[in-house]
Amino acid sequence: MNRILGNPYVLGGVALLFLSLLATTLYYRGNSIAAEAESARLTEQNRSLIATNAQNARNVERLLDQADISNKLQAELAEKLKEVAAATEDARRTIKEIRSNDPKADEYLGTDIPDSLLSVVNRPARH
C-alpha cells in the first residue's frame, strides 16, 4: 500500500481527480448562485409587473365608469334635444296656423323687430 501511495503517478492521478471534483463542484456552485440571482431578479420583476397590471386594471375600471357616465349624459342630452326640437316644431306650426287664420297677426309678424329688442333677442342665454 505504501508503494501505491508513494508512487508519484498515483498521487498525481488522485490530486488530478480531487482537483477535477473541486472544479466541477465550484462550477455547479457558481451556476447555482447565478440561478438564484436570476430567480430573485425575475421574482422582483414579476412583482413589479403585477403591481403595474393592478394599477392598469384600476385605470380601466375608472375609464369604464367615466364612459358609463358620459353615455348616460349623452342619452339625456339627446332626449332634451328631441324635446326642444319638438317644442320648436310645435311653435312653428302654431305660428303658421295663426298667420293663416288671423291677418292682423300675419301683418304683425311680418314687421321688423326694433333694434332695441334685437339686442335682447340675440343675447346669449344665461344659466
H or E segment at 101? Answer: helix 8-101
What is the chain's mean pLDDT, rounded? 90
The answer to whether residue 121 scores a pLDDT higher than 80 is no
Quote the CA–CA distance of 56 and 35 in Å, as a whole number.
31
Please give the model's pTM, rounded to 2 decimal places: 0.50
Quote the CA–CA distance of 25 and 112 in Å, as a whole number.
106
Grid cell in block for residue 117? 329688442
Residues 67-96 pLDDT 10s: 999 999 999 999 999 999 999 999 999 999
The answer to whether residue 5 scores a pLDDT higher than 70 is no
The answer to whether residue 61 scores a pLDDT higher than 90 is yes
Grid cell in block for residue 99? 298667420
The answer to whether residue 57 scores a pLDDT higher than 60 is yes
